């Protein structure tokens, strides 16, 4: 059941756990657990123990496709849910190539251990 009334509480998209975020309001770092009524600048929203996933939408989805107007859909996913489902994640490298996330992280770890042992 959707709850579209009342304040927007930050919650993990997957498990629903409440999430707190650090933000800068009037030049002070504050902790908030719900979106301020007037909204908030996305660039300084720092969810604690969670990650913000965003998408511009694209051809092929019927859920969100504002046709490149620059707006995005965003979701918070807690670190536990990301870790538990990391075998479903993809990694995008600097050349924009997709690969399995866990494979890419394994290669980073192996490279960093090889560098450390030399
Ligand atoms: Zn979660």
Same structural domain, 118 and 76: no
Binned at pLDDT 50, 70 and 90, residue 1 comes out as low
Q: Are 79 and 89 spatial neighbours (Cβ–Cβ below 8 Å)?
A: no
CA–centroid distance, residue 55 to ligand 1 (Å): 19
Q: How big is the CA angle at 30 (ends 39 and 5), to the nearest 5 degrees?
A: 35
CA–centroid distance, residue 85 to ligand 1 (Å): 10
Q: Kindly state the average pLDDT of the residues 1-26.
A: 90
Q: In what order do the strands lie in the sheet with 46-47?
A: 28-32, 21-25, 46-47
Same structural domain, 78 and 91: no
Same structural domain, 110 and 61: no
Residues 32-80: tens digit of each pLDDT: 999 988 888 888 899 999 999 999 999 999 999 898 899 999 999 999 9
CA–centroid distance, residue 18 to ligand 1 (Å): 9
CA–centroid distance, residue 47 to ligand 1 (Å): 12
Same structural domain, 20 and 56: yes
The reported pLDDT for the residue numbered 37 is: 83
Closest CA to 64 of 13, 10, 72: 72
Name the domain count of the chain.
2
Which residues 6+ apart lie within 8 Å of 44 measured at CB? 23, 24
Same structural domain, 95 and 76: no
Residues 74-93: tens digit of each pLDDT: 999 999 999 999 999 999 99
The reported pLDDT for the residue numbered 117 is: 79
* Overall residue count recorded for the chain in this entry: 118
CA–centroid distance, residue 117 to ligand 1 (Å): 36
Q: Are 52 and 76 spatial neighbours (Cβ–Cβ below 8 Å)?
A: yes
Q: Which two tokens stand for residue 94?
A: 């600097």
Sign of CA dihedral 63, 59, 47, 108: positive
């Amino acid at each position: 059941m959707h709850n579209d009334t009342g304040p927007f509480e930050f919650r993990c998209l997957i498990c629903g756990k409440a999430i707190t975020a650090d933000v800068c309001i009037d030049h002070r770092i504050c902790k908030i657990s719900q979106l301020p009524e007037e909204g908030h600048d996305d660039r300084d929203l720092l969810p604690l123990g969670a990650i913000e996933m965003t998408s511009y939408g694209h051809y092929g989805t019927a859920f969100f496709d504002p046709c490149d107007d620059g707006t995005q859909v965003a979701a918070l996913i807690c670190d536990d849910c990301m870790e538990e489902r990391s075998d479903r994640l993809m990694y995008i490298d600097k050349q924009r190539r997709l690969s399995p996330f866990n494979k890419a992280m394994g290669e980073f770890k192996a490279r960093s251990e090889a560098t450390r042992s030399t």
